[in-house]
Amino acid sequence: MFRDDFVWGVAASAYQTEGRDPDDGAGAAIWDKFIAEGHSTDGYDASVACDHMHRFREDYALMKDLSIKAYRFSVSWARLIPDGKGAVNEKAVKLYREMILSMKENGVEPYLTLYHWELPQVLQDEGGWLNDDIVEWFGNYAKVVAEKFSDICENFITLNEPQCFVGIGNLSGNQAPGNKLSYPETFRIAHNALKAHGNAVINLRKYAKRPIKVGYAPTCGMAYPASDKPEDIEMARKVLFGFYNPMDNWTWNVAWFSDPVILGHYPEEGLKKFAEYLPPITDEDMKLISQPLDFMGQNIYNGYMIAKGPDGEPDFVKRPIGSPKTGCDWPVTPDCLYWGIKMLYDRYHIPFYITENGMSCHDDVSLDGRVHDPNRINFLDMYISALQKAVDEGVDVRGYFLWSFLDNMEWDKGYTEKFGIIHVDFETQRRTVKDSAFWYKKVIETNGKNLSINTKPLQLIFLEPVFKEVVWGGNRLKTNWGYDIPSDKTGECWVVSAHKSGASAVKEGAYKGKTLKELFEECPELFGNGQKKYDRFPILVKIIDANDDLSIQVHPDDEYARINENGSYGKFECWYILDASEGSEIVFGHKAKTKEELKSMIDEGRWDDLINTVPVKKGDVVVIKPGTVHAIKGGILLAEIQQNSDITYRVYDYDRISDGKPRELHVEKSLDVITIPAPGAAECIKNCLDPKANTVTELSDCEHFTAVKITVDGDMSFDMDKDFMTMTVIEGNGIVGSSVVKKGDSFIIPCGYGKVDLKGEMTIIASSPK
């Protein structure tokens, strides 16, 4: 779980939110010129943006209403020092002091970023970051920030995402200032930026009016392993801190921008690879760059999978077909946050903050006046849950800043991307709280306890069947049900099983890959805290294809099985006849009046004298209590709901040979448990073939479970108030909740799921424990 003092915040930048005022005294930033030259997707500029400079008080009051504890914002260098290195704009000082004080009045702790890309245009005209003098310019700017704001602000961040303003701004030219410089020039810019960072750290501490905390916020895509194999993990680590990008994207690199700051040196691999492009790098430079920090920020949005290839080199694994993306086509990869922050901490051993994480959605105000953004909630839940996993394993993460609070001007994309948890109508400046903001409020108030990693998602749990090949099996599980069976001797399909002899695996969703047995043990809350009621998963559901007669058999009750079968359950079972050949029958009960007569009939093989046969047809329900002699005969296909037990005592098996020898009989134990006199068939068999549409028909209600048949024709719903419910579709197809289901699908509805909506034309066999 997250530490009690974990910082839950939101983040934004000055240029993207503040807007301008004709008399604000601010200078032009590089983005003003870049956008004016036509580099905006929608043609709009940031002259108003979110009008935050005039509306910050109401915005911070809204943060308070949403329980937000911290705000990572930036001061605009161009607003505070219009010419970049001279006179201070006192109007800007007043604005930012009022903003900080208003934050604090609303219980919001300020985290001030010095540079979030608002470089004064006048400095760019002198070369910008390519000019070595910028180290002193930025140091002077940091001095002013410390002098003007450190009495009311404790936390400072020097640079935001140097990978971006070096690479996208000065190599590809896709963002401000729009330069397409040579490799040597971009390496000089990067080196100057890191030296400027170090100089800023010195001056922030030197001129601060009280002790402060200083950090740094780089970014990058995070390499993460394609599996938990040690070789894939180590290969992902190698790639994350390595140099695999082509030169035209060299800045998209972790180690080049973080090793010098934290470790005091550039990575050796990079020094060799980039040797021909590098500016002079001195020991004094490295001492300056590696000024001690109090924390490290990291902006993490997505990543890429890495495996160790057969040649020992990294394999950049392609994402599965149809993998999710955000509104701006970034991949959704929550594992990157777990592995990224874990590997970063392993390398740098410094407290971390996630200084940005979030997603762009195509959200807008709906007809009900609200903004519904479930994709963002799902994204944030997955990512913050991944972060908690890393924290639980010992990674020192002090806080998380969601990007962003308000929909804003997304740089060169204009207003086409919406990252905020607050919707902004940019024509009226009306704020509308999105569903994700209310969700995040609960995350903050519970310190993450409402995350899926702690609460477990209440989704339908679809299961993979387990097949059993037997001497009496057939192929109808394939021909009638479409299952991929192992052979034409497949007699049993365990569709819901947590039994040690064949546990179903979860086929999709949050629990994919776990067996039902593992899931029951690890997540008992999904089963009504089932482990407190049952010492194991209580139900086993099968589809049985009897191509030939099954053995004549009997099952023990719980008490006998506990004593004689190593604590196993006994077996109470209920059959629903799915199909039966003309003239089909089952063995049900026996004719012996006493135990002596029973033993005599068995010993002498007088099976016609002993057993009762009963005709059955499609739709019949047969209840088999422990102690009842029974057998399924050839030509019958049925669904079986039973206790989670595989204990069967064979009385007779027609002298069949399996694997070269007769199958084992259990006569002595059978004699111990057979009920005398036998129960009558009339009280244990009924027909439920044609119930009315949209009804629930009881098949069996015993002390162990309830089994029902649900007939859906159109729409129906019910409240699932059981510990859990198993479902198997035996005819037709339809929709359960939002999941499309068909004949042969089996799944579990977990505890607390609530209302179950069913649509379509289908028949379902369902069961729930007592």
Q: Which residues are the active-site residues? A: 161, 356
Angstrom distance (rounded) from CA 291 to CA 286: 9
Contact partners, residue 268, CB within 8 Å, separation at least 6: none
Q: Which residue has the tokens 């899926």?
A: 452
Q: How many other C-beta atoms lie within 10 A of the C-beta of residue 319?
A: 13
User: By CB neighbour count within 10 A (0-12 exposed, 13-18 middle, 19+ buried), where does 605 fall?
Assistant: exposed
**CA 666 to each of CA 532, 549, 551, 620, 671: distance values in angstroms, whole numbers, following the listed order:** 33, 18, 11, 29, 9
Angstrom distance (rounded) from CA 767 to CA 725: 6
Angle at 650 between CA 648 and CA 654, to 5 degrees: 145
Contact partners, residue 426, CB within 8 Å, separation at least 6: 48, 49, 50, 407, 415
The amino acid that residue 60 corresponds to is: Y
CB 49, CB 427: distance < 8 Å: no
Angstrom distance (rounded) from CA 513 to CA 615: 42
Q: At what angle do helices 335-348 and 230-240 cross, to 10 degrees?
A: 70
User: In what helix (H) or strand (E) does residue 598 lie, and over which residues does it extend?
Assistant: helix 595-604
SS3 145: helix
Angstrom distance (rounded) from CA 756 to CA 694: 13
DSSP state letters, 24-83: S-PPPBHHHHHHHTT--TTS--SSSTT-HHHHHHHHHHHHHHTT--EEEEE--HHHHSTT
Q: Which residue has the tokens 């209590």?
A: 625
User: Quick one: which of 204, 216, 66 has its CA closest to 142?
Assistant: 204
Sheet holding 539-546, edge to edge: 466-474, 490-496, 539-546, 636-643, 573-580, 620-624, 685-687
CA 81 to chain centre: 44
User: Quick one: which of 721, 562, 553, 511 has its CA closest to 651?
Assistant: 553
Sign, CA dihedral 121-126-127-129, equals negative
Angstrom distance (rounded) from CA 543 to CA 494: 7
Angstrom distance (rounded) from CA 360 to CA 329: 9
In the chain, what is the straight-line distance between the N-terminal and C-terminal CA atoms, in Å?
34
Structure tokens at 338: 């777990």
CB 261, CB 293: distance < 8 Å: yes
For residue 225, what are the β-bridge partners?
A: 306
Per-state percent for the chain, helix, strand, coil, to nearest 5:
30, 30, 40
Q: Which residues of 270-293 are buried (b: 16+ CB within 10 A; e: fewer)?
A: beeebeeebeebeeebbebbbbeb
